[in-house]
């Protein structure tokens, strides 16, 4: 099985390393590889260090891998900043010898210097094709099929800009030719196609597109949002496509308004959603409480970034769980989900709409920066097979109808505004009676309504399919994880089990309500329990401790960069 991690670094901008990385990714996918990408961005809009890492394998890949096997440095800064990441045992450095001066110590790495800049400037007469020259070099060195690379370029620019295609093709060929003529391969890395896989129906999307597609598949009617990194791309996709699909996307004046529009639309019967990141979620807290109190279905996607406050806007953290679970004054239980990969981003968004409708509640979906900006080939969803849930409706006119009827399961049928003949009702954020009328002097009724909302949400923990298990039936150690680290955790668990340590992992995608029975069963199957998280305080670990008679340990990381499998492996090894 081939498994190759390539990282490209250079200045963000027109000859960007990001574009190069994207073409490597799409080529690998067409060649039937699984890929896993990881991008970093500079704070500057233009300029600054941008990187794009792609792991490709003709088998399955779950994570970005450990350090890159191949590092391509397009300028000095990228070499200075990234060289320490290159795997020390024989990693390969490809660099622009026109602009990069190497250190004395290569740590046993193989270095290929290529005059990327001068090939682009002199042969192609267009400096900005430097990244395309690099692609030719990579193709020649590691066997990434040049024709497929060229086809990807053709498909991307072809219609709009045939001149660009010609120029880029020339640059790739020049890079390829120079390498074949001048470089003697001294490393053992290589790319392998997987023709079988190439025929499977897949779509290539990043986490943002996956969420948006999921929402569209769930028949989203109204999207309202305010731009924020790394959530904006969801809005951009919907701006483009939602009208075509019969829905409406509105960019509001702020996040409070966005959730206000969403709740208003939901009241009127629409499936509605907003997406934001931490600062926006903080602003939505009052509206969230209203959604819980008024029992309105709504989906709120939070693409988490580094916090607190403006924090690390282009970095990755899973630190908004507390806010999602506890956000809102008073007790306001709601459903909180966390997709773990790009496939989940699509399907869990559909699931979020279903849960929102079924339980008549705001559902928060926690994704993160790494998923929002990571491209992956996932199985094309079978839209015909998607099951959608609609809120329990009161369809017939019934003079005794009560909007907030105190039912056994806490779910009261909804008579939608517009329904003929009423009984008319007004919903309110005040404590109310079964009809919806303010009942602010009746504490017992207020408590009964609190119980209703509480038991309704609590019962959602028995929904199935919101977790995944890895490893053997029993373990010396059990790891509970959540969020985007699943892939790395999966890989670490496989390695450790392969090395003879029995480790199980339970990866949760529903965090509120907490599936306590499931966690109990898992805990019973292991000797020791630890929670793995990408935040400072161990937010899930604290919630588990708060709700259950368990005292798991904690492994955490909070420097804005996802775990590598190696890091997890080392940390887990230390626990057993």
Partner 1 sequence: MAQTMTAGSEPQVRKAKDYRSDLDPIWCPGCGDFGVLAAVSEVFAEQQVNPDEVVIVSGIGCSSRFPGFLSCYGFHSVHGRALPVATGVALANPKLKVLVVGGDGDGLSIGAGHFPHAARRNVNLTYLLLDNEIYGLTKGQISPTTTDLSLARKALSSPHGTWEQPINPVGLALSYGASYVARAYSAQRKELTSVISRAFRHQGFSFVQVISPCTTFYNSYKTMTPRVRPIEEDHNIHDRNGALMLAYDRKHVWLGEFYRDPDRPTLTDQFEHLKQLAVGGRPATLEAVLDRYS
Ligand X SMILES: Cc1ncc(C[n+]2csc(CCOP(=O)(O)OP(=O)(O)O)c2C)c(N)n1
H or E element, residue 519 = helix 516-524
In sequence order, what are the residues at sequence separation of 6 or more whose Cβ sits closer than 8 angstroms to the Cβ of residue 383? Answer: 217
DSSP strands (E only) in 29-170? 34-40, 49-57, 70-73, 92-96, 110-114
Binding partner at 425 among its own copies, ligand X, partner 1, none, C-beta below 5 to 8 Å by kind? partner 1
Interaction partner, residue 268 (its own copies, ligand X, partner 1, none; CB < 5-8 Å by kind):
partner 1
Q: Is 340 exposed, middle or buried (0-12, 13-18, 19+ CB in 10 A)?
A: buried
Gap between the Cα atoms of 354 and 376, Å rounded: 25
33 binds partner 1 (CB under 8 A): no
Least Å from the CB of residue 141 to its own copies: 29
Residues 137-156 that bind partner 1 (CB under 8 A): none
440 near its own copies, judged by CB under 8 A: yes
Q: Give residue 67's Cα distance to chain centre.
A: 21
User: Which residues in 458-480 are b (16+ Cβ under 10 Å) and which e?
Assistant: eebbebeebbeebbeeebebbbb
Site for its own copies in 315-334 (CB under 8 A): 315, 317, 319-320, 322-323, 325-333
Given 236, 392, 542, 573, the residue binding its own copies (CB under 8 A): 542
Least spacing, CB of residue 403 vs partner 1, in Å:
8
Residue 446 found at the interface with its own copies (CB under 8 A)? yes
- Does position 547 bind its own copies by CB under 8 A? yes
How open is the CA angle 7-13-14, to the nearest 5 degrees?
100
Instruction: Choose the stretch contacting its own copies; rule: CB under 8 A; options: 94-102, 204-212, 413-421, 547-555.
Output: 547-555
Partner touching 260 among ligand X, its own copies, partner 1, none, CB below 5 to 8 Å by kind: partner 1
Distance of CA 7 to the CA centre of its chain: 20
| Residue 214 partner contact from partner 1, ligand X, its own copies, none using kind-dependent CB cut-offs of 5 to 8 Å | none
- Under the binding rule (CB under 8 A), the answer on residue 286 touching its own copies is yes
- Complex with partner 1: residue 286 or 494, whichever CB lies closer: 286
Residue number, 26 or 541, with CB nearest to partner 1 = 26
Query: Does 381 engage in binding with partner 1 (CB under 8 A)?
Result: yes
For 387, how many CA atoms within 13 A lie in the half-sphere containing its CB?
3
Instruction: Look at the block and give the residue holding tokens 């009942």.
Output: 439
Q: Comparing C-alpha atoms, which of 153, 152, 192, 187 is closest to residue 68?
A: 187
Q: Binding to ligand X by residue 228, rule CB under 6 A? A: yes
Residue ranges in 219-238 that form contacts with partner 1 under rule CB under 8 A: 221-222, 224, 226-229, 232-233, 235-236
- Give the footprint of partner 1 on residues 420-459 (CB under 8 A): 420-430, 435-438
Q: Considering only CA atoms, give the Rg of the chain.
A: 26
381 binds, among its own copies, ligand X, partner 1, none (CB under 5 to 8 A by kind): partner 1
Binding-site partner at residue 285 among ligand X, partner 1, its own copies, none, CB < 5 to 8 Å by type:
its own copies
Among positive and negative, which fits the CA dihedral 532, 534, 540, 542?
A: positive
**Closer Cβ to partner 1, 102 or 250, answer by number:** 250
What's the rounded Cα separation, in Å, for the pair 174 and 8? 19
* Count of residues near ligand X by CB under 6 A: 8
Residues in CB range of 491: below 8 A, 6 or more apart: 62, 63, 565, 568
**Separation of alpha carbons 6 and 466, rounded Å:** 33
Within 45-84, which residues bind partner 1 (CB under 8 A)? Answer: 45-48
- Please choose which of partner 1, its own copies, ligand X, none residue 251 contacts, taking the beta carbon within 5 to 8 angstroms, the exact cut-off set by kind: partner 1
Span interacting with ligand X, options 21-29, 275-283, 438-446, 538-546, rule CB under 6 A: 275-283
Please, which residues have CB within 8 angstroms of residue 11's CB and are 6 or more apart in sequence?
A: 17, 47, 48, 49, 50, 74, 75, 77, 78
Residue closer to its own copies (CB basis): 157 or 326 = 326
Q: Interaction with its own copies in 330-359: which residues (CB under 8 A)?
A: 330-333
Per CB under 6 A, the list member of 227, 243, 438, 443 interacting with ligand X is 227
Question: How many other CB atoms are there within 10 angstroms of residue 177's CB atom?
Answer: 15
The least distance separating its own copies from the CB of residue 9, rounded to whole angstroms, comes to 13
Q: Is 438 in the site for ligand X (CB under 6 A)?
A: no
Single residue of 68, 214, 260, 280 touching ligand X by CB under 6 A: 280
Residue 203 binds partner 1, judged by CB under 8 A? yes
Nearer to ligand X, 231 or 572 (CB): 231
CA 352, 241, 51, 310 dihedral sign is negative
Among 2, 282, 390, 407, binds its own copies (CB under 8 A): 282
d(CA 16, CA 81): 17
Q: Name which position in 82, 140, 146, 213 contacts partner 1 (CB under 8 A).
A: 213
Cα 547 to Cα 18: distance, rounded to the nearest angstrom = 44
| Token pair recorded at residue 463 | 């929904």
Contact of residue 458 among partner 1, ligand X, its own copies, none (CB under 5-8 Å per partner type): none
Quote the least distance from Cβ 442 to ligand X, whole Å: 20
CB of 346 to partner 1, least distance (A): 10
Q: Determine, following the binding rule CB under 8 A, whether residue 49 of this chain makes contact with its own copies.
A: yes
Burial classification of residue 74, based on how many CB atoms lie within 10 Å of its CB (0-12 exposed, 13-18 middle, 19 or more buried): buried
CB of 279 to ligand X, least distance (A): 4
Residue 241 touches partner 1, criterion: CB under 8 A: yes
| Alpha carbons 273 and 291: distance in angstroms, whole number | 12
d(CA 187, CA 184) in angstroms, rounded, equals: 9
Q: Which of 14, 182, 310, 537 binds partner 1 (CB under 8 A)?
A: 310
Stretch near ligand X under the rule CB under 6 A, chosen from 225-233, 335-343, 396-404, 563-571: 225-233
Q: What is the CA angle 478-479-483, rounded to 5?
A: 155
Residues that bind ligand X (CB under 6 A): 226-228, 255, 279-280, 283, 310
């Amino acid at each position: 099985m081939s498994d190759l991690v390539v990282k490209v670094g250079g200045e963000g901008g027109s000859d960007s390393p990001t574009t190069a990385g994207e073409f490597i990714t799409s080529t690998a996918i067409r060649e039937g590889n699984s890929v896993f990408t990881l991008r970093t961005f500079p704070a500057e809009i233009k300029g600054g260090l941008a990187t794009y890492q792609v792991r490709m394998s003709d088998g399955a890949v779950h994570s970005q891998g450990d350090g890159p096997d191949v590092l391509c440095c397009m300028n000095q800064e990228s070499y200075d900043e990234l060289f320490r990441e290159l795997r020390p045992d024989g990693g390969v450095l490809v660099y622009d010898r026109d602009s990069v001066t190497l250190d004395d110590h290569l740590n046993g790495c193989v270095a290929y210097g290529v005059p990327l800049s001068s090939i682009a400037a002199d042969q192609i007469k267009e400096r900005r094709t430097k990244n395309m020259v690099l692609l030719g070099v990579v193709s020649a060195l590691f066997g990434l099929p040049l024709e497929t690379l060229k086809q990807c370029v053709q498909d991307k620019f072809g219609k709009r800009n045939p001149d660009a295609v010609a120029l880029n093709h020339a640059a790739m060929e020049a890079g390829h030719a120079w390498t074949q003529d001048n470089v003697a391969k001294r490393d053992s890395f290589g790319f392998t196609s997987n023709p079988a896989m190439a025929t499977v129906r897949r779509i290539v999307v990043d986490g943002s597109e996956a969420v948006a597609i999921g929402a569209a598949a769930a028949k989203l009617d109204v999207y309202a949002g305010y731009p924020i990194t790394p959530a904006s791309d969801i809005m951009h996709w919907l701006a483009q496509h939602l009208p075509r699909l019969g829905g409406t996307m509105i960019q509001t004046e702020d996040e409070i308004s966005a959730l206000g529009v969403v709740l208003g639309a939901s009241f009127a019967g629409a499936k509605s959603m907003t997406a934001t990141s931490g600062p926006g979620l903080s602003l939505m807290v009052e509206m969230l409480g209203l959604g819980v109190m008024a029992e309105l279905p709504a989906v709120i996607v939070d693409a988490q970034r580094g916090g607190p406050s403006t924090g690390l806007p282009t970095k990755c953290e899973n630190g908004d769980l507390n806010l999602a679970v506890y956000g809102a004054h008073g007790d306001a239980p709601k459903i909180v989900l966390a997709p773990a990969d790009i496939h989940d981003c699509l399907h869990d968004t559909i699931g979020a709409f279903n849960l929102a409708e079924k339980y008549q509640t705001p559902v928060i979906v926690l994704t993160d920066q790494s998923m929002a900006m990571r491209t992956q080939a996932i199985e094309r969803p079978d839209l015909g097979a998607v099951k959608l849930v609609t809120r329990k409706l009161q369809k017939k006119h019934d003079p005794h109808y009560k909007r907030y009827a105190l039912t056994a399961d806490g779910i009261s049928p909804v008579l939608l505004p517009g329904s003929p003949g009423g009984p008319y009702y007004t919903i309110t954020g005040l404590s109310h009676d079964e009809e919806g009328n303010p009942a602010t002097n009746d504490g017992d009724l207020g408590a009964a309504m609190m119980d209703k909302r509480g038991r309704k949400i609590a019962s959602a923990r028995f929904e199935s399919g919101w977790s995944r298990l890895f490893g053997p039936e029993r373990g010396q150690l059990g790891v509970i994880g959540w969020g985007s680290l699943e892939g790395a955790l999966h890989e670490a668990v496989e390695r450790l089990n392969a090395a003879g340590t029995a480790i199980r992992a339970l990866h949760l995608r529903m965090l509120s309500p907490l599936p306590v029975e499931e966690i109990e069963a898992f805990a019973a199957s292991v000797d020791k329990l630890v929670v793995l998280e990408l935040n400072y305080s161990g937010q899930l670990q604290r919630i588990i401790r708060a709700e259950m008679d368990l005292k798991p340990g904690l492994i955490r990381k909070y420097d804005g960069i996802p775990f590598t499998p190696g890091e997890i492996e080392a940390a887990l090894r230390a626990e057993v």
